[in-house]
A and B are shown apart, each in its own frame.
Chain A
Amino acid sequence: MQTVAVPSRVLSSQTHVTALTGPELTRPKLETDRLSVFYGDHQAVSDVCLTFKKNTVTALIGPSGCGKSTFLRALNRMNDSIEGCRMAGEIRYDGIELQSRQVNVLEVRKQIGMVFQRPVPFAKSIYKNVAYGPIRHGVKKKKELDRIVEDSLRKAALWDEVKDFLHQSALRLSGGQQQRLCIARALAMQPDVLLLDEPASALDPVSTAKIEELIGQLKKEITIIIVTHNMQQARRISDETAYFYMGRMVEHGPTEQIFSNPRSEQTRQYISGQIG
């Protein structure tokens, strides 16, 4: 058995690492074990077991209200900030239980970044939007920030469009540009995992294509989980697909198999457009 580099950044105090055994290669980057999420009495996600491998894109599909967003938000503990929201089950990131008390939630969100359905630029300059995360996490040097901002904007395929007015308000960008800015903002944290909740649903085909291409690039470095209602998109960009229905994960497998030969009749019906 080989020892594993401990990603101690996640732990606020370097305590128990006994859970970290097994070769890194076979261990998933992120996995959930019977994860349930409740809003008050309403159970939005039920006993979901899923694994996400490093450098893969996983698409979460399913009809509206089936709990995809809720599941996604559980992964970086964004549901913590919702009053009355409760979770059960486990989420393991590099083998570490994310809901454990010793885990620093700010670090979790730093390493597991998130992009929302609607672009949400801050009422700040483009530069400050991208630098927001790094500054909050203690990057102070102007040079270093400049580099991070340029890098992130380049990765998000936005640099060429905005490099001449970095210090103007981000609110003047178009919707598609704003969404790419939000992706750049998330990338500036140098996350390990990126959660995307229908990132292209409010965008035109050109911007969508850019974001899809970007996802293809990004997966070389990080793990991506994306919620989408667009079956073609799921098929184009993802390596694996998970189908959700009424809070349960019905089927999970390689995208090609899910789309061409699903095991579940329900999945087949959804993919062919018979369940909306």
Chain B
Amino acid sequence: MAKLVKETEHPLFKKSSKLRTERFGKGLTFAAVLLTALLTAAIFFLVISKGLSTFFVNGGSVKEFFTGSTWNPGQKHEGGSPIIGALPFLTGSLAVTGLSALICTPLAIGAALFMSEISPKAGRKVMQPVIELLVGIPSVVYGFIGLSVVVPLLRDHVTGSGFGIAAGTIVLSVMILPTVTSLALDAIQAVPRSLREASLALGSTRWQMIYKVILKTAKPGLLMAVIFGMARAFGEALAVQMVIGNASVIPHSLFEPASTLTSILTMGMGYTVLGTAENNALWTLALILLLMSLAFTIAVRWIGRGKPQ
């Protein structure tokens, strides 16, 4: 029989400083995660509870919120419920987001294809740095450029005051273009070289390869890029607010002043008192923004799920 070793004498039971550091590191990480989770939960709780009180505390009508077109939460209907028709902002937000995605998508994919397939050298040397630069420009600058260039241009050469969905769309498309381009580029570059070669080896031209293999394979990634762009456009406040005109009506054309959820929110924030119906109504707009960004995130996740790595 082997001699029994006293437990503590065996090298397996040695204390090691490495282990201690590791445990400490784990604890630290865990604390950070916990804090983040708590913060997120708190924000959600705040926005949801405040946002819902319009309906549950002030007695606003959910139906009116989504279908009514008069927004005046400081005033009350005869029954005592606040006037909270948010349809103009909902349509405004959806319109600028959808239209800017529509304009931005072909441009971004074209640029990304140019950078990865047509002229990788120029792409790497010139376009990539330019795009990185553009990504970093604060949105207020885009808004300012929109205000001083796009709005006058529309006013002088198209129609109306220049403020409106059209101006908002133009500013937003330019603003999200770099982000979408660089994400689309990632998606396209992630298509393995072997697939490109397989297509060429079948005697396809480069365009057939791009169209039938690269875009097809990169589709989930490209879709994600566009949705990221839309999320950014939907949530953008400053730049839009500066050029859209901020009239809380449903415009009859793209060239009439309109408004978005974000623009009304930023405009109204400073002028309401916490706890009032007016203030709560703004929280409801914030809740919609939160839910939409959640929806965008879920969409991205859902699309990314099936993506082969």
Closest CB-CB distance, B67 to chain A, in whole Å?
Answer: 42
Which residue of the partner chain B has the closest CB to A122? B213
B272 at the interface (CB under 8 A from A): no
Q: Which residues of B contact A116 (CB under 8 A)?
A: 194, 197-198, 201
Q: How far is the CB of B189 from chain A (nearest CB, A)?
A: 15
A78 touches B204 (CB 8 A): no
Q: Are B201 and A78 in contact (CB under 8 A)?
A: yes
Bound-state CA distance A40–B269 (Å) is 63
Task: Enumerate chain A residues within 8 angstroms of B195, measured Cβ to Cβ.
Answer: 120, 122
A171 at the B interface (CB under 8 A)? yes
Using CB atoms, name the residue of chain B closest to A188.
B202
Closest CB in chain A relative to B303 CB, distance in Å: 14
B contact residues around A78 at 8 Å (CB): 197, 200-201
Report chain B residues within 8 Å CB of A109. Answer: 200-203
Which single residue of chain B is at the shortest CB-CB distance from A104?
B203
In the complex, whether B148 has a CB less than 8 A from a CB of chain A is no
- A113–B204 alpha-carbon span in the complex (Å): 12
Whether A107 sits at the interface, judged by CB under 8 Å, is: yes
Instruction: Determine whether the beta carbon of B217 is less than 8 Å from that of A122.
Output: yes
Do A124 and B198 have beta carbons less than 8 Å apart?
A: no
Tell me which residues across on chain A come within 8 A of B253, comparing CB atoms: none
In A79-101, the 8 Å CB interface with B consists of 81, 83
A122–B197 contact, CB under 8 A?
no
Q: A171 touching B308 by the CB < 8 A rule?
A: yes
Q: How many angstroms between the C-alpha atoms of A81 and B199 in the bound complex? A: 12
Give Cα distance in the complex from A123 to B194, angstroms: 13
Return chain A residues, CB-CB under 8 Å to B200. 78, 81, 109
- A194: shortest Cβ distance to chain B, in Å? 11
Kindly report which residue of chain B lies nearest to residue A118, judged by CB atoms.
Answer: B194
A108, B204: Cα distance in complex, Å: 11
Known: A122-B217, A124-B216. A133 touches B194 (CB 8 A): no
Residues in A with CB closer than 8 Å to B213 are 122
A114 at the A/B interface (Cβ < 8 Å)? yes
**B155 interface hit (Cβ, 8 Å):** no
Q: Answer whether residue B36 sits at the interface, using C-beta atoms and an 8 A cutoff.
A: no
Query: Is the CB–CB distance between A120 and B194 below 8 Å?
Result: yes
| B residues near A136, Cβ cutoff 8 Å | 202-205, 208, 212
Which residues of chain B are within 8 angstroms of A182 by Cβ–Cβ distance? Answer: 198
Which chain B positions have C-beta within 8 A of A157? none
A106 / chain B contacts, CB cutoff of 8 Å: 203-205
Q: Mark B157-200, 1 if CB is under 8 A from A, else 0.
A: 00000000000000000000000000000000000101111111
Instruction: Say whether A123 contacts B216, CB under 8 Å.
Output: yes
A247 CB, min distance to chain B CBs, angstroms:
21
Q: In the complex, what's the smallest C-beta–C-beta distance from A179 to chain B, in angstroms?
A: 12
**A255→B38 CA distance, assembly (Å):** 72
B201 and A137 contacting across the interface, CB-CB below 8 Å:
no
A71 is an interface residue with CB less than 8 A from chain B = no
Q: Which residues of A lie under 8 Å from residue B199 when comparing CB positions?
A: 122, 132
| Residue interface bits A158-190, CB-to-B below 8 A is 1, else 0 | 000000000000010000000000100110010
Contact assessment for A122 and B198 in the assembled complex, using a CB-CB cutoff below 8 Å: yes
Shortest C-beta distance, B24 to chain A (Å), equals 44
Name the distance in Å between B278's Cβ and chain A's nearest Cβ: 52
Residue among B200, B205, B217 with the most chain A CB within 10 A?
B200
Mask: chain B, 208-220; 1 = CB below 8 Å from A; 0 = not:
1000110011000
Closest residue of chain A to B217 (Cβ to Cβ) is A123
Does B202 contact A186, Cβ atoms closer than 8 Å?
Answer: yes
Q: Is A76 in the interface zone, CB < 8 Å from B?
A: yes
A110 at the interface (CB under 8 A from B): yes
Tell me whether A110 and B217 are in contact (CB under 8 A).
no
Complex Cα distance, B40 from A108, in Å, reads 60
Residues on A facing B (Cβ under 8 Å): 76, 78, 81, 83, 106-110, 113-114, 116, 118, 120, 122-124, 132-133, 136-137, 171, 182, 185-186, 189
Nearest 3 A/B pairs, CB to CB: A110-B203, A109-B203, A133-B202
Q: State the B residues within 8 Å of A (CB).
A: 120, 192, 194-205, 208, 212-213, 216-217, 308
Query: What are 8 A-B residue pairs whose CB atoms fall within 8 Å in the complex?
Result: A120-B192, A120-B195, A122-B199, A122-B217, A123-B216, A185-B198, A189-B202, A189-B203
